[in-house]
Amino acid sequence: MIYIRWSINSTPETLLDEGQVFDDDAFERPVETLVQTQFHPPIHTPTHTPTHTPTQIPVVYDTIKWKERQNAVREAFKHAWGGYVRDAWGCDEYHPISHRGSNLTGIGIGFTIVDSLDTLLIMDLKEEFQHARDWVARSLDFEQNGNVNVFETTIRVLGGLLSAYHLAGNDTLFLSKAIDLGDRLLGAFSSSSGIPYASVNLALKQGIPAHFVGGASSTSEATTLQLEFKYLSHLTSNEEYWKKAEEVMFKIDSLEKLDGLVPIYLDPHTGNFVGKTITLGARGDSYYEYLLKQYLQTSRTENIYLRMYDQSMDGVKSRLVNYSSPSKLLYIGELLNDEFSPKMDHLVCFMGGNFALGVTLGKTVREVKHLNFKQLEDLRIGKELTKTCTEMYFRTATGLAPEIAYFTSLSGPEKDISIKKFDSHNLLRPETVESLFIMWRLTGDVQYREWGWKIFEAFENHTKYEGGGYTSLEDVTSIPPGRKDKMETFWLAETLKYFYLLFGPNDQIPLDKYVFNTEAHPLPIFMPTRKVRGQGWNRQ
Ligand code: DMJ
């Protein structure tokens, strides 16, 4: 196999044989024609040349500039947090314009505060952290006769507590709260199939089916609990958490898939998929994320997850990856009853970084050195998708991305991206900055930081509410964009954390020592004990 190394000017310079050690300070790309021999894109795929010319890995960069930018993110967090503390302290959610909070159930379950704990630690906001910790100690009470969404509560609250436990130096307050919550969430797995119900009653510890699609659970929701439950099991030596979470994956593996791709609903009674919609957006996304991350979390001891991940990525590449016209932006579409749709949710934008993480497994590209054909292809897809996601920002009037974009096909009009009015809102979502952060850490290409800064400035310009907090937007395609009066908790937990880490030093939360759960809560990679490892499984 032959590779061409692309230099800073994107001029092919040197031919290398497969397995040959690459030059450290250049990026490598496979020859495009070779890519196409193995890569089977769906309909309308043009022969193309990548549009992104990577910048050379910087040896020296402007430390002061990035320090200042990182500090601007910290100030943004303080502004967001300050509004919440003043108007909505203790409430699950914050509505900055009406200066009030609201709860998901009863007295609330710490959605905003717990989701923010590790960001406070990472940003070294000591007083704010102490205030939040005091609230957890005195007021966080899960004994509430109310139903909460199992997935959201797991990724935000259980994940937030576990991450805070670790980052605060094994502070047992957070672990005891996590155990209490974990025991209540276990009630969701009481279905006949072991697939968790969508909701759980916290006091009764009872699973509650969803109120739609005949009580089906979302596939991504049922399969995005494993990192949290496994880490809880590891900390407590209680294998029950591990068993329940892993049983779901075992069931899913036995079901028929489309080249590793899964429909977005699961029936908790039969354990079968419901419908044929396949997407890496809403209700599908983090299934694919957690396949890879489960493999990473347990020190690469569970090969089954790497196999499942690889198979699903083959399906993504053969059935969902496509290119827009005229700029040939790579995007990941959807299948609606077997029909390809050129629709991509902003949620899909986590996949840029995920593709690259699947290649290097947390090391830098430089450290890995030998990249085979498939790895080079995945890295290229990761880079191109990340670029496309930034274009979803840069091509709107506000410089911010819509919730959903449609990509034009070869024969379509000139624009690559079209946005429907109904999809033009922005919820302060993190996925693009998450990918920028991962791409920066893995490749060292400063372009990812520069793009991140441009996006951060757009958030500052349009979502900052002078009265305190940040708000979601009605329509990113118009100025003014209109405000939605909601600051999602993932703005504090994810978006600002990823910006902060993107502009900061690389040794803070290194990617070969931590996996970020899907709500950006870093959990340490560990070696599973023999006891819990006994709960593992393999294909017959
Ligand atoms: C977050 O709760 C998580 O990142 C989840 O995986 C997807 N949706 C939001 C952020 O957009």
- The response to whether residue 519 sits with its C-beta less than 6 Å from ligand 1 reads yes
pLDDT at position 521 over 50: yes
Is 285 part of the annotated catalytic residue set? yes
- Domain span holding position 287: 141-320
Atom 2 of ligand 1, residue of closest alpha carbon: 519
Q: How many domains does the chain have?
A: 1
Q: Is residue 294 part of a domain?
A: yes
Q: pTM surpassing 0.85?
A: yes
Q: Is the model more confident about 487 or about 24?
A: 487
How many beta carbons lie within 10 A of that of residue 522, not counting itself?
24
Q: Is residue 103 part of a domain?
A: no
Least confident of 34-38, 227-231, 531-535: 34-38
pLDDT at position 42 over 80: no
State whether residue 90 is helix, strand or coil.
coil
Task: Tell which residue, 186, 188, 180, 145, has the closest CA to residue 161.
Answer: 180
Please report the pLDDT score of residue 529 as a whole number: 86
Please report the pLDDT score of residue 538 as a whole number: 74
Q: What is the pLDDT of residues 195-225, one digit of tens each?
A: 999 999 999 999 999 998 999 999 999 999 9
Q: Is residue 176 part of a domain?
A: yes
- The response to whether residue 518 sits with its C-beta less than 6 Å from ligand 1 reads yes
Is 488 part of the annotated catalytic residue set? no
Q: What is the pLDDT of residues 444-486, one digit of tens each?
A: 999 999 999 999 999 999 999 999 999 999 999 999 999 999 9
Q: What is the pLDDT of residues 63-105, one digit of tens each?
A: 899 999 999 999 999 999 999 999 999 999 999 999 999 999 9
Q: Is residue 15 part of a domain?
A: no
Q: Is residue 108 part of a domain?
A: no
The percent of residues in the chain predicted with pLDDT above 70, rounded, is 87
- Binning pLDDT at 50, 70 and 90, where does residue 30 land? very low
Residue tagged active-site, from 93, 118, 128, 403: 403
User: From the alpha carbon of 429, which atom of ligand 1 is closest?
Assistant: 11
261 and 273 Cβ atoms separated by less than 8 Å: no
Is 431 part of the annotated catalytic residue set? yes
Please tell me the distance from the alpha carbon of residue 327 to that of residue 114, in angstroms, as a whole number.
Answer: 42
Q: What is the pLDDT of residues 245-285, one digit of tens each?
A: 999 999 999 999 999 999 999 999 999 999 999 999 999 99
Q: Is residue 212 part of a domain?
A: yes
Distances (CA, A) of 121 to 297, 456, 468: 22, 21, 21
Q: Where are the beta strands (DSSP E) in 376-488?
A: 404-407, 417-418
Least confident of 178-192, 413-427, 457-471: 413-427
Q: Is residue 232 part of a domain?
A: yes
Q: Is residue 392 part of a domain?
A: no
CATH number for the domain including 296? 1.50.10.10
Least confident of 8-22, 415-429, 432-446: 8-22
